[in-house]
Amino acid sequence: MRQAEMKRDTFETQIHLKINLDAQEPVCIDTGVGFFDHMLTLFARHGRMALEVKAVGDLHVDSHHTVEDVGIVLGQALREALGDKVGINRYGTSFVPMDETLGMASLDLSGRSYLVFDCAFDNPKLGAFDTELVEEFFQALAFNLQMNLHLKILHGKNNHHKAESLFKATGRALREAVTYNPEIQGVNSTKGLL
């Protein structure tokens, strides 16, 4: 089973996370930031992976540390769960429509970290969640998973829909990338490792 369990304790956050790429249950998210919980739930459900997150952060300051640190821990856990990446597709791309919005995620589990984020939010907040933290989360995720991740909002107006399409698309693209392909011998790279 491709699974991992991670803990991160700092003066700003305490995070306990479990992930299983080969199961779909449970999905249980509690970060203290309602909108972020919703987004992580969508990410896990559309990525068809079991994900448990319990985070306690300095929300009296704001939600920045909590969101960024969950991204760090999630990326580290995914990297551990993937192991040597033998036999996986490696690449994944997904377009997700959300009413008037169309979001795209395209990724490569290359072992090299990069984020291209071509997404604009007109509203600075969604509930208690700062919309600028969408990029912070995905940057932390990409760099700690050592993933090349491109995100784009092709069109849209509603900020909730924009964020939702990105989290769903990333989950779906990740599912495609981590799926075993019987046609792939070893790792999907001319280097011989990822």
Q: How many CB atoms lie within 10 A of CB 157?
A: 10
Q: pLDDT-derived band of residue 128, with 50, 70 and 90 as boundaries?
A: confident
User: Is the model's pTM score more than 0.95?
Assistant: yes
At residue 175 the predicted structure's pLDDT band, cuts being 50, 70 and 90, is very high
Residue 20 token pair: 């299983």
User: Could you tell me how many helices (H) and strands (E) the chain has, helices first?
Assistant: 4, 10
